[in-house]
Amino acid sequence: MIEKWNLKLLYKSETDPQIQKDIDLSTKNVRSFVKTWKTNKEYTKDPAVLEKALQESEKLSATTGICDKPIYYFMMLNELDQTDANIKARLNQITEIYTKLVNEIQFFDLNISKIPKAKQSKFLNYEGLKPYKHLLEQSFLSSKYILSDKEEKVFNLTSKTSYSNWVNMLTELLSKQKMVVLDDELKEKEITYNEINKYLDSQNKKVRDYAVKEYNQINSQYVEIAEFEINSVLEDKKISDDYRKISRPDLTRHIADDIESEVVDTLVKTVTENFDVTRAYYKRKAELMGVKQLGYYERNVPLPGASMKYEFPEAMKLVQKTFKNLDPKFEEIVDTFLRNGQYDVYPSKGKTGGAFCTSINRNLPTFILLNHKDQLESVLTIAHESGHGIHTELAKKQDALNDGYPTSLAEIASTFFEDFVLTEILKETTDEKVIQAILDKKIHDDTASIFRQVAFYNFETELHDDFREKGFLTKEYISDLFCKHMKAYLGDAVKEDESMRNGWIYVSHFRRFFYVYSYASGLLISKALQKMVKDDKKNIVYVKRFMESGSTQSPKELFKGIGIDITKKEFWKNGIEEIKTLLNKL
């Protein structure tokens, strides 16, 4: 068992001469592709030529890609030590080369999407293009909203000044803020803005009340800047949508995620209609915490009890046992990860926080980053990120142009495995207090992924609509709107306080536009799959089939193939029923 990333799987060291050789080879491969297809546009007329072109594109993706390996190497080094300026500089240099190459090659996808409507079916029905059918469908679908190569370049070039700089300004200003809080021994301690959650979630009321005062003060200081920032970002989006004649603000998200607007609409509507579930949960939570009402900032405080300790090897064993029970193939994949050094387990100085699973190219190793802290949470994180890893490996059954998966499907495998591990832990627990704390944690997490994200979605929808109607939204207006949507799912057991009024300032997802629904859809689909497997273990083949499909089909079609209809309200309702069952137990 190796507990650190073995980046030697990529290069010997930062000075390995192979790095430059790979950059040169990748540049050569991209340029040779561009040379072949830039002037010869036969592939937009003749399906047989397109087949050949796509095969070449697939080959490029499966080999060097666009500087895949060098970029990946320095990205991973950067994750392990964010303070190393030398690594950052190298990463920037290679990224610059990458962006240049992307600009040179983007004509290819653009031209495909511009194949005239009358000719599209000829391409879609061509036998040799069968493996790329869905990819072409996707491309044709988005073409309506794609502008000319030149116009797209202008949008690309100006997006930094009209969008990213605004967003980065706010996040960076906030992240630099320092404040004094009390730690668990009630001693004063200076922390940075992004470290606040630990103190807001403290089981000691003194600690969290003290922390929120400081937090509110900083947020209030920056609310005016946030007001300008969010109005600019909303305007930038409106300009782009108007120019492209896009009818609804969330449509670009749906197209990019390969999901129909009607599916998202049904999901959002069904979850919203069931907000009474979460309102009941917060009422129960306040009761269990012995108060009438919770502050908005207190909604994440765990109940005392779930304080078991899991050192990494023991936690990993539990995960492996659960995975093996589901299917030996899952354990096999995790085993390989462990043997090769594809997990980086413990926190260290300069290492990035949180956890993730990443991959860039089918022929390069998948890497999983953890910050294991011996708690229940950390065990679930291993399961979650390993779930992403298993999905990534199984999707490699498809070719290099189809071995990814859209955001709308990204959180299914991860939460599927996470929930099974939690069930395993519950099975081994007999202490009532501990069971209660685990149940509470589970409902809390599900609520945060499903109901809260849908409330966010509703807020975003109204935010964009109102901006388009009024032209400018004041900070008071935005705070009122945000509180309206938070109270809708939290109910009367959670107070509208200053922390709620400031709640929109720092949520980075609101700047990524309508991304949030994917947490809800992912977890609810995952719950449906869990139920299938709990009903009959043999149904695990369907879960595997889903993961092996990569991006060859839209989610709607994919799940139809295994008997799940995600366009139906009842489907989403079933997942919500599972949470109700947990709530009744609590």
Asked whether 200 and 208 are in contact (CB, 8 A), the reply is yes
What single-letter DSSP state applies at residue 162?
Answer: I
In the complex, least distance from residue 355 CB atom to Zn ion, rounded to whole angstroms: 8
The torsion angles phi and psi of 400, rounded to 5 degrees, stand at: -65, -15
**Span near Zn ion by CB under 5 A; candidates 89-97, 149-157, 408-416, 550-558:** 408-416
Asked whether 145 and 252 are in contact (CB, 8 A), the reply is yes
Which string of DSSP letters, residue by residue, matches 208-245? HHHHHHHHHHHHHHHHHHHHHHHHHHHHHHHHHHHHHT
In the complex, least distance from residue 210 CB atom to Zn ion, rounded to whole angstroms: 32
Q: For residue 505, give the amino acid letter.
A: I
In the complex, least distance from residue 418 CB atom to Zn ion, rounded to whole angstroms: 9
Is the Cβ of residue 74 or residue 514 nearer to Zn ion in the bound state? Answer: 514
Report 17-56 residues binding Zn ion (CB under 5 A).
Answer: none
- As a whole number of Å, the CA-based R_g of the chain is 25
**Span near Zn ion by CB under 5 A; candidates 3-11, 229-237, 282-290, 411-419:** 411-419
CA distance 134 to 138: 6
All residues at 6 or more sequence positions from 51 whose CB lies less than 8 Å from its CB, including other chains: 126, 128, 129, 132
CA distance 368 to 356: 6
Is the Cβ of residue 278 or residue 526 nearer to Zn ion in the bound state? Answer: 526
Confirm or reject binding of residue 449 to Zn ion (CB under 5 A). no
In the complex, least distance from residue 526 CB atom to Zn ion, rounded to whole angstroms: 11
Q: For residue 5, give the amino acid letter.
A: W
Which string of DSSP letters, residue by residue, matches 29-58? HHHHHHHHHHS--GGGT-HHHHHHHHHHHH
322 sits in which H/E element: helix 312-326
Is the Cβ of residue 65 or residue 522 nearer to Zn ion in the bound state? Answer: 522
Is the Cβ of residue 64 or residue 449 nearer to Zn ion in the bound state? Answer: 449
b/e per residue, 160-182, with b = 16+ CB within 10 A?
eebbeebbeebeebbeebebebb
191 sits in which H/E element: strand 188-192
Confirm or reject binding of residue 549 to Zn ion (CB under 5 A). no
In the complex, least distance from residue 419 CB atom to Zn ion, rounded to whole angstroms: 13
In the complex, least distance from residue 415 CB atom to Zn ion, rounded to whole angstroms: 8
Is the Cβ of residue 369 or residue 434 nearer to Zn ion in the bound state? Answer: 369
Residue number closest to Zn ion, CB atom: 414
Q: Is 178 helix (H, G, I), strand (E, B) or coil?
A: strand
Confirm or reject binding of residue 386 to Zn ion (CB under 5 A). no
In the complex, least distance from residue 555 CB atom to Zn ion, rounded to whole angstroms: 17
Is the Cβ of residue 269 or residue 373 nearer to Zn ion in the bound state? Answer: 373
CA distance 242 to 232: 15
**Span near Zn ion by CB under 5 A; candidates 238-246, 293-301, 409-417, 430-438:** 409-417
Confirm or reject binding of residue 414 to Zn ion (CB under 5 A). yes
**Span near Zn ion by CB under 5 A; candidates 77-85, 297-305, 413-421, 540-548:** 413-421
In the complex, least distance from residue 567 CB atom to Zn ion, rounded to whole angstroms: 25
In the complex, least distance from residue 388 CB atom to Zn ion, rounded to whole angstroms: 6
- Residue 209 burial class via C-beta count within 10 angstroms: exposed 0-12, middle 13-18, buried 19 and up: middle
Is the Cβ of residue 341 or residue 389 nearer to Zn ion in the bound state? Answer: 389
Is the Cβ of residue 414 or residue 458 nearer to Zn ion in the bound state? Answer: 414
Is the Cβ of residue 47 or residue 389 nearer to Zn ion in the bound state? Answer: 389
Q: Which two tokens stand for residue 195?
A: 């470290």
Report 168-197 residues binding Zn ion (CB under 5 A).
Answer: none
Is the Cβ of residue 368 or residue 455 nearer to Zn ion in the bound state? Answer: 368
**Span near Zn ion by CB under 5 A; candidates 104-112, 414-422, 443-451, 480-488:** 414-422
Is the Cβ of residue 414 or residue 530 nearer to Zn ion in the bound state? Answer: 414
Tell me what percent of the chain is helix, strand and coil, each rounded to the nearest 5. 70, 5, 25
Is the Cβ of residue 249 or residue 522 nearer to Zn ion in the bound state? Answer: 522
Number of chain residues interacting with Zn ion (CB under 5 A): 1
Could you give the residue ranges of the DSSP H alpha helices within 39-114?
Answer: 47-62, 68-80, 85-113
Confirm or reject binding of residue 359 to Zn ion (CB under 5 A). no
Q: Can you say whether the dihedral through the CA atoms of 52, 56, 59, 65 is positive or negative?
A: negative
In the complex, least distance from residue 372 CB atom to Zn ion, rounded to whole angstroms: 16
In the complex, least distance from residue 473 CB atom to Zn ion, rounded to whole angstroms: 32
In the complex, least distance from residue 413 CB atom to Zn ion, rounded to whole angstroms: 9
Confirm or reject binding of residue 447 to Zn ion (CB under 5 A). no
**Span near Zn ion by CB under 5 A; candidates 81-89, 290-298, 407-415, 555-563:** 407-415
Q: CA torsion, points 40, 46, 49, 50, in degrees to nearest 10?
A: 90
190 sits in which H/E element: strand 188-192
In the complex, least distance from residue 523 CB atom to Zn ion, rounded to whole angstroms: 10
**Span near Zn ion by CB under 5 A; candidates 48-56, 82-90, 313-321, 412-420:** 412-420
- Strands in 356-358's sheet, in edge-to-edge order, are 343-344, 367-369, 356-358
In the complex, least distance from residue 322 CB atom to Zn ion, rounded to whole angstroms: 17
Q: Which two tokens stand for residue 355?
A: 């956890």
Is the Cβ of residue 70 or residue 550 nearer to Zn ion in the bound state? Answer: 550
Q: How far is the CA of 39 from the CAs of 34, 58, 73, 510, in angstroms? A: 9, 20, 34, 41
Is the Cβ of residue 139 or residue 414 nearer to Zn ion in the bound state? Answer: 414
Confirm or reject binding of residue 415 to Zn ion (CB under 5 A). no
Closest to 586 in 3D by CA, of 442, 451, 448: 442
Is the Cβ of residue 258 or residue 385 nearer to Zn ion in the bound state? Answer: 385
In the complex, least distance from residue 150 CB atom to Zn ion, rounded to whole angstroms: 37
Residues in contact with Zn ion by CB under 5 A are: 414
